[in-house]
Amino acid sequence: MAVIIAPGRSLDRVGDGETHGLGYERVDGDPNVAVLLATMDATAGWEATRRLRVWERDQLRLDGGKRLLDVGCGLGDAALALAEDLGADGEVVGVDASAAMVDVARERAGAARCHVRFAVGDALALDEPDDRFDVVRSERTLQWLTDPQAAVHEMARTLSLGGRISLIDSDWSTFTLDVGDDELAGRVREAMRTERRRPSDVGCRLPELVRAAGFEVLAATSATQTWSGWDQDRSPAPDGCFSMSSLADDLVDVGQLPPADRERFVSTIHQAARDGRFSMALTMFAVTGG
Ligand SMILES: C[S@@+](CC[C@H](N)C(=O)[O-])C[C@H]1O[C@@H](n2cnc3c(N)ncnc32)[C@H](O)[C@@H]1O
């Protein structure tokens, strides 16, 4: 399967078995870097992602000359969409830990009307001046950081007086997988609550992070991404998601699944998908503060 990630550039998805442990802490150097980049395009197409980005744009109502910083900007598509509201004298800066992500973002920035700069950097130590930006945003990045609150404080440092902060993130403790097997669904739900020992439930904590950084919450919303089926002939994993073998490996790692049950676990899910009994859901949250 080829996934277009930039004009004139396409990436081949690697096989189902190679996606174990996919994560966005260290994209560069990951043997699956191509999958990580392609997955960003797939998740940008999720209905929930699109709805939250439209909501954010409506809340921010950016206009000419404003300066926007996107922390953990990934492929840059959300920042570039917001750039359309800034006029020719606006400025967009995107920072991401991954040079591979930043390279694609730079390629995509060609058509932007305002000044755009994408740079490699760390959300926990931004190489940007104090009081510089009118809006600082971060989407689906806090969940990959060791200290999300420290990152929100760092974002606040770069905001000018009266500036606004905008956060979007998933809460993986809301993840459900329904394949007509309650015991299997329970294991997945339990494992997701402590998923990979990272702050994967940060989505529901966004208002708390915003308040702790000295802002009032201006607006908040959520959207649930649902997968009501999965065609295994078209894709080795549900759209924009990890493979079921990778999920099984993670469950084995956290002691939720005996290694001997791994194959049965994966085949139960695959069979349910073939029989039209497969569904998944994940809730994402968004908040603006000022
Ligand atoms: C799931 S992606 C989200 C990308 C983009 N915000 C989006 O919503 O499409 C998470 C991004 O966070 C970046 N990231 C992870 N740790 C980071 C850090 N410490 N500083 C900056 N970016 C980081 C990754 O390189 C990756 O691009």
Going from the Cα of 24 to the center of ligand 1, the distance in angstroms, rounded, reads: 6
Q: Which of 52, 42, 48, 51 is nearest to 74 (CA)?
A: 42
Taking CA atoms only, the protein residue closest to ligand 1 atom 10 is: 141
Q: Which of 77, 4, 76, 58 is nearest to 218 (CA)?
A: 58
Point out which residues pair with 14 in neighbouring strands. Answer: none
* Under 8 Å between Cβ of 188 and 172: no
Give the position, in ligand 1's atom list, of the atom nearest the Cα of 24: 24
Residue type, 227: W
Q: How far apart are CA 69 and CA 79, in angstroms?
A: 8
The beta strands (E) that lie in 199-238 are given as 217-227
Terminal alpha carbon distance of the chain: 43
Q: How far apart are CA 115 and CA 278, in angstroms?
A: 45
Q: How far apart are CA 135 and CA 49, in angstroms?
A: 19
Helix (H, G, I), strand (E, B) or coil at 12: strand
Residue type, 191: A
Going residue by residue through the chain, which has 290 residues, state the pLDDT in tens, using 9 for 90 and above: 222 222 222 233 334 333 444 578 889 988 888 888 988 999 999 999 999 999 999 999 999 999 999 999 999 999 999 999 999 999 999 999 999 999 999 999 998 999 999 999 999 999 999 999 999 999 999 999 999 999 999 999 999 999 999 999 999 889 999 999 998 888 888 777 766 567 888 999 999 999 999 999 999 999 999 999 898 888 888 988 888 888 888 888 878 889 999 999 999 999 999 999 999 999 999 999 99
Going from the Cα of 243 to the center of ligand 1, the distance in angstroms, rounded, reads: 20
Predicted confidence at residue 243, as pLDDT, reads: 85
Q: How far apart are CA 26 and CA 15, in angstroms?
A: 20
Give the position, in ligand 1's atom list, of the atom nearest the Cα of 138: 6
- Which residues have CB under 8 Å from 245's CB, separation 6+? 16, 17, 19, 20, 266
How do beta strands 91-96 and 115-120 pair?
A: parallel
Q: How far apart are CA 281 and CA 279, in angstroms?
A: 7
- Which residues have CB under 8 Å from 29's CB, separation 6+? none
Q: How far apart are CA 283 and CA 212, in angstroms?
A: 23
For ligand 1, which residues put their CB under 6 angstroms from it?
24-25, 27, 40, 44, 72-74, 78, 96-98, 101, 122-124, 139-141, 144-145
Predicted confidence at residue 187, as pLDDT, reads: 83
Going from the Cα of 140 to the center of ligand 1, the distance in angstroms, rounded, reads: 7
Tokens at residue 4, please? 């277009």
- Which residues have CB under 8 Å from 66's CB, separation 6+? 85, 86, 90, 91, 134, 135
Q: Which of 88, 84, 102 is nearest to 28 (CA)?
A: 102
- Write b or e for each residue in 66-86: b if 16 or more Cβ atoms lie within 10 A of its Cβ, otherwise e: bbbbbbbbbbbbbbbebbebb
